Structure 1
Amino acid sequence: MKWIKRILVGLVAVIGLAVIVLWVTGNDHILRGIPKTYLRGVTSPDIDDMDLHPLRVVPRGTPEPWPESAALGSFALSQEARQGLVQWDTEAFLVWSGDSLIYEEYWNDSDQNTRFNSFSMAKSFTSLAVGCAWKEGKIFSLQDPLVNTVAGYNQGLDAKLQIEHLLQMASGIDFGESYGSPLGYMAKAYYGTGLEAETRAYHASLPPGTEWKYEGGNTVLLGMAVTEATGKPLGSYFSEKIWSRIGAEHDAYWNLDVEDGLEKAFSAFYATPRDFGRIGKLMLDSGKWAGEEVVPWIYLEKAFAPVNVPGVDGQNVDHYGYHFWLNTWNGHKVVACNGMRGQHILTVPDRDLLVVRIGHQRPEALEHGQSRYIQDLLDYGGALQDSYAQRH
């Protein structure tokens, strides 16, 4: 019995020492991250973690239910498509043709009212907020030095940093993007309680505008810029200028670092799949909703154009715009919002096709913003649109 007691005392002492070390070294985010990941059976954030974080409500406006095709529910996925969706633990798959919702399916007890984590699709949403602030003149120019909006970026290479460089993912700041590193920026940004301070600890090590590197910290700085420029939290501003104006049927929520704190602008916007589709429809309709401008097209033209900044391999990046992914499918241009674990809002402008996929896994990491799985999702959606067209 004594040896059991000694083991327990020793174990408690080791755990206590580990807690102290993590706290003293500024890595106490690990203590908050463990119960939100490993104790839930996952090793990184998942799409169903909304209840584990402080949130800011993003209020809807007047809800406008989607026009549903009379054929909704009459189309069937091919066996290959169904297998591809089920295999990778899909929660929702929706397809629109023009204004009409033509296919909708949910798995694992999810439904039209279930909110999911956007992950990095939120980066694109933050870009839309920047476009609105620019339209209003709150951000005078996309070439404005960041320091004009966010104080403190006036030394060394930081002084050359512009809003546009952040939009291009070309800030020259090496934040690091891996969620797999428990001591890295992304882990601290997602599970920590001092997002602004953590972000400000990083500075440009390369001349801004000279190298493209996908970094969530750039989006955090954009969120801070929107807040400083407008005098409103990012989520509140996004609601006022976008979410409340596109007929969302539900309030959305944005994950914060602390209660009433800073939005994690790079991730964790929680909404229903149908409401995520409204962002895609806004993209397809040149920033308009019901004929009214929500996001200026002159901004979206820039956002949907390649940044053409050299990547780490020296090749000009043609697959990324202002926080939107750019690719092709069967010769058609694709503009997309992509998120970890396979969250996708996929738009094909010249076919007026919109696909939303929400799920827990994807088969492979994105290469230049593209994957075979994204092509598969568009194949599934395109086939359904073709079937719909044959009936109309």
Structure 2
Amino acid sequence: MKKKILSVISLILLFLCFQFSSELFYLSELASTIYKIQRTEADITDYQYFDNIEIPKSKNPKAWAIHKNYNKTLMTNNLKILHEEFGTVAFLIIKNDSIWHEKYYSGYNKDSYSNSFSMSKSIVSAIMGKAIQEGYFKSLDDKISSFIEGYDQGYASKLTIGDLSSMSSGMKWTENYTNIFGVTARAYVGSDLNKLILSRPIIKEPGKSFEYLSSDTQLLAMTIEKATEKKISDLVYDWFWNPMGAENNALWQIDNIKTNNEKAYCCFNSNARDFARFGKLYKDNGYWYNEKLLDSNFIKKSITNRFEASPEYGYGFWLGEFKETKFFSMRGHLGQYVIVFPKENIILVRLGKTHDKKSENETFSKDFYDYIIEAFKMLNT
């Protein structure tokens, strides 16, 4: 009996030592990152401080057309104030597939890198749609357990790629951008992202309700890589970046060089003009001019809410209305936006240093709508 108790105590001590060493390792990574970047919050320039995979520009770059009225309409005073208050670095209005208005600030220009943050979730969802189209998945109902070990029991056995894209995994995860000791910060700073994701259990039945979790997109990217046997960064180049004529290289931030895992849920670094290409692709029902890149039925499903109780989200895209006109949007931390009004054939792009934090817990922060309001004032002048 005494030996049995000693064995149990030994196991507990080993577990605690492992836990402690794991915590200690993360704290050392956190301290190193804070020292390197000299702050405790994420920023659009973080690609300079983390490792990245470089995605080449298109073999056949295609510039956006310039509208005949390019930059002829003066900005509203309110828009100038918004840009100054929230540190806008790029603002585009694209009308009928031509750049109608374009401004850059803080030393940025049309070729400058800026962090997408969670706009990359829309990109990963597009990659998933293409993977279905190419036959790597049968449908949105494909089970994660068919591709990744450890998801064949309990709620996890029900989890599908569609659940991950629509943010309804039921995963144990707290989406918090201010707690530097929390799991979201660990995903951003830690050196083995995919291991962290696999450690998070599925604690609720998937596919029942919307709950925005960055971990869902990361697991989705891991599943796509398993199914295709290709890196997510290679897929985005082959399926979108190259055929859409991207004019600049992109950088996809990784957890570290050794594990080489793209931070799929965030951190696709590009510029306003090239980000806008995804907005055009979805606006045009999966066509890039005369070339079909994505199935139109998948596009339609992506920009339609899955859950009646959550009209704000589809599959990888945010959804809303402005003056009874529907829009869909890619959206990222600190106010990174690609906002598309399909019927009006308008695309708005805003990249910047921060957003209206007073309203950040709303479905859309106040500045999000303010950019729309001021852009349409200009367009209707």
Q: Please indicate, yes or no, whether the TM-score normalized by the shorter chain is above 0.5.
A: yes
Tell me the equivalent position of 1:202: 200
1:317 aligns with 2:325: no
Alignment partners' CA distance in 1, 2:284 and 2:238: 19
Contact 1:30–1:182 (8 Å) recurs in 2: no
1:60-209 mapped onto 2 (5 Å cutoff): 60-61=57-58, 62-209=60-207
Distance 1:38 1:102 in 2: 42
Work out whether residues 76 and 378 of structure 2, in 8 Å CA contact, stay in contact via their aligned partners in 1.
no
Q: Quick one: distance in 1 between partners of 2:351 and 2:42? A: 14
Partner of 1:43: 40
In structure 2, the partner of 1:390 is none
Q: How does 1:167-316 map to 2 (within 5 A)?
A: 167-259=165-257, 261-308=260-307, 316=309
Using the alignment, how far apart are the partners of 2:24 and 2:197 within structure 1? 15
Segments of structure 2 that go 5 or more residues without pairing to the other structure are: 1-16
Q: 1:384 to 1:246 in 2, by over 3 A?
A: farther
Q: In the alignment, what sits opposite 1:373?
A: 367
What's the TM-score once normalised by structure 2's chain length?
Answer: 0.91
SS at match of 1:317: coil
Code of the aligned partner of 2:178: G
Instruction: Answer yes or no: is the 8 Å Cα contact 2:37–2:49 preserved in 1.
Output: no
Structure 1 residues 172 and 115 mapped into 2: Cα distance closer, same or farther (>3 Å)?
same
Q: Percent identity over the alignment?
A: 27
Distance in 2, matches of 1:179 and 1:381, equals: 29
Higher mean displacement: 35-44 or 258-267: 35-44
1:358 alignment partner, one of 340, 351, 357: 351
Say if 1:27 and 1:183, in contact at 8 Å, map to a contact too: no
RMSD (Å), alpha carbons: 1.9
Cα contact 1:169–1:212 (8 A) shared by 2? yes
Whether contact under 8 Å (1:174, 1:215) holds in the other structure is no
Deviations 1:82-134 (A, max 9, x none): 11111111111111001110111111111111110000000111000000001
Change (3 A) 1:110 1:33: farther
Corresponding position of 2:13? none
2 CA distance for matches of 1:167 and 1:111? 32
The one-letter code of the counterpart of 2:29 is R
Number of aligned residues? 362
CA positional deviation for 1:72: 1.5
1:284-310 deviation line (CA, Å, top 9, x unaligned): 11111112111211111111111216x
Work out the CA distance in 1 between the residues paired with 2:174 and 2:251: 26
Q: TM-score, normalised by structure 1?
A: 0.88
- Per-residue CA deviation, residues 28-72 of structure 1 (Å, 9 max, x unaligned), is 334334454476453311001112111112222211011011321
For the 8 Å contact 1:353–1:382, the answer to whether it is kept is: no
Tell me if the contact between 1:307 and 1:322 (Cα under 8 Å) persists in the aligned partners: yes
Question: One-letter code of the match for 1:147?
Answer: S
In the alignment, structure 1 segments of 5+ residues that lack a partner are: 1-19, 310-315, 388-392
> Does the 8 Å CA contact 2:93/2:375 hold for their aligned counterparts?
yes
- Aligned counterparts of 1:148 and 1:53: Cα–Cα separation in 2: 32
Task: Provide, for residues 272-293 of structure 1, a one-character-per-residue CA deviation record: whole Å limited to 9, x for no partner.
Answer: 1111111111121111111211
Instruction: Provide the residue aligned with 1:6 in structure 2.
Output: none
What is the distance in 1 between the residues matched to 2:177 and 2:79? 30
Asked if 2 retains the 8 angstrom alpha-carbon contact of 1:132 and 1:295, the reply is yes
C-alpha separation in 2, matches of 1:163 and 1:308: 16
Counterpart amino acid of residue 332 in structure 1: T
Rounded to whole Å, the distance in 2 between the matches of 1:144 and 1:21 is 35
CA shift at 1:252, angstroms? 0.8
